[in-house]
Chain A
Amino acid sequence: MLKRGKKDENDSPSDTNLTMSERITPSTPKPSAAQGKTIIGENIAIEGSIRGEENLVIEGSLKGNIQMEKHNFTVGSRGRVDGEIRAQNVSISGELKGNITALGKVEITKDADFYGEIKAKSISVEDGAYFKGMIELDREPHRKSSEVVKPASPSGLETVKAPTSKPFDAKKET
């Protein structure tokens, strides 16, 4: 079941255009305190694509694509999503299998399990997340070097001296 915030009470049905076949579980949905966003509860399973003009939170399961370039998409800690995501910002605390295109930021918390590709302006990832994917960020210019990789000398390991109590700039031992 979709839970909508007060802000949406006067919205037309087309504001959140859902094309989906819903399989609603018998559990009674919990009341939502959300405003300006739609929450799909943890006992809801959806198959189908979703286009939206407001923020969306998935706590249930969704198999389908999300398209909401001007709004934020969140997979809650109990949420499971299998599909392509296009949104302004994306936050993942549950499971997401699929590719993300975010105009803004992608946030992956320590409870997340992500598998897919991410194209975004920026990304934050907490230690501990399950993460298997490809990342392409908007890149800043980087400096080029003229160094060339050559095979090692027969002597093998080079020793670099470093202080033991603070950061250092390594120097080759002569």
Chain B
Amino acid sequence: MVNAVLHQHNDSETESSPVSYTSEILELFITSLQRRRDPQILDVGPVCEENIRFFAQQLKRLYVCDMFRRLDRELRADREPAGVWVHLDYAPSIFDGIQLWDFCDHLDDTQVKRLAELCHTMLKPEALLMLTAFEERTRVLPLNAFVTQTDYQINFRHQAHLKLPWHCRHNRALMSSLAGFNHIKSFQYRNGLREFLFKKYN
């Protein structure tokens, strides 16, 4: 069963960043993709210079589509979030990997399913899908960019221009939303982050 709890950010909330950490899943994601021939990866944002440099140096071709920014624009204009999907207009089976970061956390269940469908279409067979989710107890910022450093260490940076809703989901709900994928590995960190790696079926 898929269920999410919606949280609207309150600007008066005390803001503090969760601690940085070394991402086991990101390393697995990257090293697996590096064994492929001319791998192509899609990063859905938020646009972050460090991530662009990191992925572009590690892999052959990096595609970036700032879905966070575009979702923010749709919501500010009181338009349906579904309008954001026109931007994921990539050809079928084009990517070896998609990095979603915590984009699912900002979508309702219907939109998460739509995103999963689109990712499934855009990924090649046996391609990888990585996503991150915050636990409710640790989610204190309205939004953080995941900033990738060397050796797969990830820091956080607040992006003040984005104000997106946050939907808290338990692991089972996330797994259910991505039922079209094989679950490869997951990690839960003390800083409240959960990371998931999925693979597209053949």
Contacts and interface: CB of A to CB of B under 8 A. Distances in A.
Interface stretch (B3-11, B27-35, B100-108, B117-125): B27-35
A160 B124 CA distance: 30
A123 B57 contact: no
A14 interface: no
Contacts of B20: 166-167
B66 interface: yes
B117 to A, nearest CB: 20
Contacts of B69: 128-131
Given A149-B184, A160-B188, A137 B56 contact: yes
A149 B197 contact: yes
B76 interface: no
B81 to A, nearest CB: 17
Given A142-B34, A160-B188, A132 B64 contact: yes
Contacts of B66: 129-132
A158 B188 contact: yes
B111 interface: no
Given A127-B47, A127-B159, A132-B66, A156 B171 contact: yes
B49 A128 contact: no
Contacts of A21: none
Interface string B18-60: 0111111001100110110000000001111100110011101
Interface in A59-97: none
Contacts of B53: 122-123, 137
Contacts, number: 146
B34 A157 contact: no
A173 to B, nearest CB: 9
Contacts of B64: 131-135
B183 interface: yes
B187 interface: yes
A64 B20 CA distance: 45
Contacts of B60: 136
Interface residues of A, number: 44
B114 interface: no
A111 B185 CA distance: 38
Interface in A118-146: 122-137, 139-140, 142, 144-145
B19 A157 contact: no
Given A132-B87, A167-B20, A142 B57 contact: yes
A159 B28 CA distance: 16
A33 interface: no
Contacts of B128: 149
A149 B24 CA distance: 12
Interface in B163-182: 171, 175, 182
Q: Which of A110, A131, A151 has the most CB of B within 10 A?
A: A131
Given A156-B186, A160-B24, 19 more contacts: A127-B46, A129-B66, A130-B47, A130-B69, A131-B47, A136-B60, A137-B56, A142-B34, A144-B34, A147-B31, A149-B128, A152-B185, A156-B175, A157-B186, A157-B194, A158-B186, A166-B20, A167-B21, A168-B190
12 contacts: A123-B49, A126-B49, A127-B145, A129-B66, A135-B64, A144-B31, A149-B197, A158-B186, A167-B20, A167-B22, A168-B19, A168-B21
Interface of B: 19-24, 27-28, 31-32, 34-35, 45-49, 52-53, 56-58, 60-66, 69-70, 87, 128, 145, 153, 155, 157, 159, 161, 171, 175, 182-191, 194, 197, 199
